[in-house]
Amino acid sequence: NVGEAVPSAQKSSWATFLKSIASFSGDLSSLTAPPFILSPISLTEFPAYWCERPELFSAIADAQSNEERSILVLKWFISTLKGQYTSRNEKLGSEKKPLNPVLGELFYGYWPDVNGRGQTNLVVEQVSHHPPITAYYIENPQKGISLQGHSAQKTSFSGGSIIVKQIGHAILTVNLPNGEKEEFLITLPRLRIDGLWYGSPYIELSETSYIQSSTGWLSTIEYKGKGYFSGKSHTFKATLSRPGSTQASQTYEGLWHETSKNVRTGELFTDVTTPKEEVTTVPVEEMDEWESRRLWRWVAKGIRDGDFETASREKSKIENEQRQRRRDEQAAGTSWALKHFDHIDSDPIFEHLGRLFKANPPTEDTYVYRHNRNPGPEKA
């Protein structure tokens, strides 16, 4: 029977929602979901998950060899997965439906400099509404490391689960001491959202993602859930192979939400059982109208307080305002100007590095961060 986790008054609307996803594919954000499953957080906040262990991000700069740099990038990447894919369960009780960002929505934040790790800054912009696409740029200038990426999703329904194919990729750039740059192309895993029937959705990762370095080192990460590898959920196996070789130079395995180890040496590789550091922002009162937490403030309050009438009234206000804006643009023959990013049809770094591991598709568009304009949060 539907939904032991669903409040009794919402059981039938949950069943209706499930039916609507089953007969639907594409953009889930547009479907109306019952109140209990709504999150007060917009998708523009999600890129912050990349840096909640800032010391692992900054440590990449201290590597002494290409191999070590690839290992540290893999270690940082695996250590972000718990935040990316399980934190709503921990904070909100289950996976929830995030607020669907408006075009031009912004999110700024930073992680302060502690013990010489340097300050890391985050700039996020919603660069498309239909379909939803979020672009982000994360930089630790002191350490000479940056991450630029964009994120979109294609969803379908299969065997009672939502399958989410992640569209987009990220490029990590490291300035080397000799003045050169090393680049890493990061592809994203496939998601399955299980537990829908009971009203307590959670994510499992599947298939394979890659981290290809411009030095030739390649990490191949395989994801499995219950009943594979170790039989446990959130399992991964990663192999690092040297340039031009398919043989593993290092192999790691474990649980991405707990710990993992180096298979050969037994040495601990990742450990995310310790607290993470959430991004710092200025108070909502000091934010600009387009900044996510300011923009959605009253909707989010309504959701948090269980006052769904206010939440939906405030949400309609925002949506109507957006529709009017689009009509005005159309009448004036103008279009919305992005603030921090430029769109390009084909990312040359993706094409170049993607060839090394036969990325599929072989080319992708991207959003390039526009330096020297609107530098985002300078506050520390």
Which residue type occupies 199? G
How far apart (Å, rounded) are the C-alpha atoms in residues 131 and 154? 9
Q: Smallest distance, Å, CB 282 to ligand CLR?
A: 23
Binding status of residue 147 toward ligand CLR by CB under 6 A: no
DSSP count for the chain of H helices, then E strands:
7, 18
Residues 24 to 83 in contact with ligand CLR, rule: CB under 6 A: 28-29, 33, 37, 46, 49
Q: Smallest distance, Å, CB 335 to ligand CLR?
A: 25
Q: Which is nearer to ligand CLR, 92 or 176 (CB)?
A: 92
* Of the candidates 15, 103, 91, 7, the residue with the CA atom closest to the CA atom of residue 48: 91
Long-range CB contacts (< 8 A, 24+ apart) of 353-358?
Answer: 353/183, 353/184, 353/185, 353/212, 353/213, 353/214, 354/185, 354/212, 356/212, 356/216, 356/218, 357/210, 357/212, 357/218, 357/220
Span interacting with ligand CLR, options 96-104, 261-269, 275-283, 328-336, rule CB under 6 A:
96-104
Q: Please check whether residue 219 is in contact with residue 240, taking contact to mean a CB–CB distance below 8 angstroms.
A: yes
Q: Which is nearer to ligand CLR, 95 or 125 (CB)?
A: 95
Nearest 5°: CA angle at 266, between 260 and 272? 25
User: Cα 195 to the chain's mean position, in Å?
Assistant: 21
Residues 163 to 182 in contact with ligand CLR, rule: CB under 6 A: 164, 166
Beta bridge partners of 237: 222, 253
Q: Smallest distance, Å, CB 226 to ligand CLR?
A: 19
* Of the candidates 77, 87, 79, the residue with the CA atom closest to the CA atom of residue 45: 87
Q: Which is nearer to ligand CLR, 217 or 234 (CB)?
A: 234
From candidates 45, 52, 95, 364, binder to ligand CLR by CB under 6 A: 95
Span interacting with ligand CLR, options 95-103, 258-266, 286-294, 359-367, rule CB under 6 A:
95-103
How far apart (Å, rounded) are the C-alpha atoms in residues 69 and 249? 14
Q: Which is nearer to ligand CLR, 63 or 163 (CB)?
A: 163
Q: Which is nearer to ligand CLR, 97 or 326 (CB)?
A: 97
Binding status of residue 154 toward ligand CLR by CB under 6 A: no
Per CB under 6 A, residues contacting ligand CLR are 28-29, 33, 37, 46, 49, 84-85, 95-98, 151, 153, 164, 166, 193, 201
